[in-house]
Amino acid sequence: MSCDRNRHVDAVLPPDPLRSAIRSALLERGWPDMCVPQALGRFLTQLAMGAHSALEVGTYAGYSAICIARGLRPGARLVTLESRAEHAHLAKRHIEGAGFGDRVEIALGDAAETLGRLKAEGRRFDLAFVDADKPSYPRYLDLVLDILHPGGLIVFDNAFGRDRVFDPSATSPTPAALRELHRKLFENPRLVSTLLPMFDGVAIARVAT
């Protein structure tokens, strides 16, 4: 049934030439297509509408950054964090080609260190999207919470870890970390959280005002 749903969504969505171009660029390099699906990209665009500032952990090829930038109000900016120079270079090309070079800042380096620097600088954000190394998700939650405005949203992609979180015998770092993320999302009194069973699971939390 889920395959039928996915085919229907793919069929009714208007094609996104940028998504196709980025997929081709990844294939040319022999890199996996780990960009968010187009439907999730449109969801990020919706969530970004009205945000004054946005944060992304995990740039990769730049497609999700483009989707967030599409929704930002005039004058708003996105800071996207990437640890690999080759990914940042490709993402920069795609983001600039999409016309968003003036509103997206790519911060190259270790994500945890960059998040600490942003906190020290007094930077604050209305929206955060996390799509990076899954074993670090619980730590990213703590770090991102420190720099979100009250009422801000934090979104985690791949929250189900290809359904491994549902298998009690799966105790490797990724499913273990995702279970810890889920626990922290629902136990933290500052958060109003939910898990959405779409794609590979999407976790969303709003910071209480």
- Looking at residue 174, its pLDDT comes to 96
Q: What is the pLDDT of residue 2?
A: 55
Local confidence band at 153 (pLDDT 50, 70, 90 cut-offs): very high
pLDDT of residue 209: 82
Cβ–Cβ under 8 Å, residues 69 and 95: yes
Q: How confident is the model at residue 8 (pLDDT cuts 50, 70, 90)?
A: confident
Beta strands in the chain (DSSP E): 53-57, 77-82, 104-108, 125-130, 148-156, 191-196, 202-207
pLDDT score of 1 more than 50: no
Mean pLDDT of 63-76: 95
* Nearest Cα to Cα of residue 145 among 162, 128, 133: 128
User: Which superfamily does 2-207 belong to?
Assistant: Vaccinia Virus protein VP39 (3.40.50.150)
Q: Residue 13's pLDDT is what?
A: 87
Q: Check residues 15 and 118 and name the one with the higher pLDDT.
A: 118
For the ranges 7-11, 60-64, 118-122, 186-190, the lowest mean pLDDT is seen at 7-11
Distance, in Å, from the CA atom of 40 to the CA atom of 35, rounded to the nearest integer, reads 10
Neighbour count for residue 7 (Cβ, 10 Å): 10
Residue 50's pLDDT is: 85
Max CA-CA distance within the chain?
A: 48
Is the pLDDT reported for residue 141 higher than 90? yes
C-alpha distance from residue 128 to each of 14, 27, 102, 125 (Å): 26, 28, 19, 7
